[in-house]
Chain A
Amino acid sequence: MKTSIIAIAFMTLFFVFPSHAQHGEHEHNHEGQVVEPSAVSNDMENIACDDTINIKVSGLVCDFCARSLEKIFLKRGDVAGISVDLGKGSVIVATKPGSTIDDTTLTKLITDSGYNVSAIQRGCEHG
């Protein structure tokens, strides 16, 4: 009986807990290009196309696990935002104007998050 009550209480908290994720909307940069993905987890607005990096990632199948990507990338001062597209298996990282992150560092950050990098594309050419 106690277990049931605790379970119900936890479930109530779980669903009432406010979500800070926004999703379902595409983001556009100031050049009018879609920065895409299915969810925007932080400040991806007004990001110049040249400040985006599209990383193809292997193993990106679980939303709950992929939260590590946000935690790892958003610790950095040179990252303006990150968005994850589970469908495409890609991560878009927006750097702050004038900042850059080299491929070696990106690969280490992705590996630390529990995934593997299969490709890195910079700027506006990623699809």
Chain B
Amino acid sequence: MKLTVFTLCCVILMGYAPQSLSRPVSYPGGWTIMQKNDKNAHSLHVHYSPTAKYSIGYRTEYWREEGWQFHGAQLNYLVKRHNAPASQANFYLKGGLGTAHGDLGVPDSKPQPAAFADIALDWETRRYFTSYENRVYYAEDIAKFFRQKARVGIAPYIGDYGDLHTWLMLQVDHITGERDNISFTPFVRFFKNEYLAEVGISDKGGILFNLIIRF
């Protein structure tokens, strides 16, 4: 039921509002560092884009409550980009393969094979923004769940190239499994030049802080 309600909300949001700045694919030869934190997990993704169509990199995640980690390689593929005069839309597929480590601090805990698959869509203008992303996790005995996230945003002012840009945004998260829940996180996104930061707090009291740097 929650899944249906969430998906319906996402479809509505995607229909009315507008993308994801945290692009998983950069320009040929470009490097990106993405460090993200929310109530559930901390993650670090460093990727390199050989072409404008895909990127490959290292990903690590730490899921606080369950106390497990993921370490592995991630591939991001730009399936389709639509550039219009005043907007841009993207469709990405992502996948990761690596190992999961549970029971932190237990010396004899063995790593298990882990993988995830991800679909991401976004659309933005200079004023509006919207994105939707889902991910299926599989980590043998450690974790198996589905997570989806939708975002909408509006820029209170339209900045020029090189200005500090500010966006007021709302993120809706749905996660299945033991902690099955939906959370709402209003947050503020700032970016200037190659630096992007997001800061917010969810209705469950979790702090959201994301930082992205491109080289």
Seen from chain A, the residues whose Cβ lies within 8 Å of a Cβ on chain B are 3-4, 6-7, 10-11, 14, 17, 19-24, 37-39, 41, 57-59, 61-68, 71-72, 75, 83-87, 89, 111-116, 118
Whether the Cβ atoms of A21 and B162 lie closer than 8 Å is: yes
Nearest CB on A from B197, distance (A): 5
What residues of A have a CB within 8 angstroms of the CB of B160 in the complex? 23-24, 38-39, 85-87
| B52 interface residue (CB < 8 Å to A) | yes
Task: Looking at the assembled complex, report how far the CB atom of A25 sits from the nearest CB atom of chain B, in whole angstroms.
Answer: 11
User: Are B126's CB and A114's CB within 8 A?
Assistant: no
Task: Give the one of B27, B195, B199 with max A CB within 10 A.
Answer: B27
With A10-B197, A67-B193 already in contact, the answer to whether A114 and B52 are too (CB < 8 A) is: yes
Structural contact, A63 and B159, CB atoms closer than 8 A: yes
Residue of A nearest to B208 (CB): A7
A68/B21 contact (C-beta < 8 A), A14-B195, A85-B161, A116-B83 known: no
Q: At the interface, yes or no: B23 with Cβ under 8 Å from chain A?
A: yes
Is the pair A14, B197 in contact by a Cβ cutoff of 8 Å?
yes
| Interchain CB contact under 8 A, B19 and A62 | yes
* Nearest CB of chain A from residue B106's CB, rounded to whole Å: 22
Set of chain B residues within 8 Å of A62, measured between Cβ atoms: 19, 21, 88, 124, 126
- CB pair A59 B84 closer than 8 Å: yes
- Whether, in the assembled complex, B7 has its beta carbon less than 8 Å from a beta carbon of chain A, the answer is no
Closest residue of B by beta carbon distance from A67: B194
The 5 closest A-B pairs by CB, nearest first: A59-B83, A21-B162, A68-B27, A38-B160, A39-B161
Are A64 and B194 in touch, CB under 8 angstroms?
yes
The reply to whether A64 and B88 contact each other, CB–CB distance below 8 Å, is no
A110 to chain B, nearest CB (A): 10
Query: Are A63's CB and B209's CB within 8 A?
Result: no
Q: Contact between A61 and B27 (Cβ–Cβ < 8 Å)?
A: no
Q: Report the bound CA distance from A23 to B164 in whole Å.
A: 11
- From the candidates A37, A61, A67, name the one contacting B88 in the complex (CB within 8 A): A61
Closest A residue to B209 by beta carbon equals: A7
How distant is the Cα of A84 from the Cα of B163 in the complex, in angstroms? 12
Residues of A within 8 A of B30 (CB): 68, 71
Once the chains are docked, how many angstroms separate the CA of A115 from the CA of B89? 11
CA A114 – CA B89 in complex, angstroms? 11
B207 at the interface (CB under 8 A from A): yes
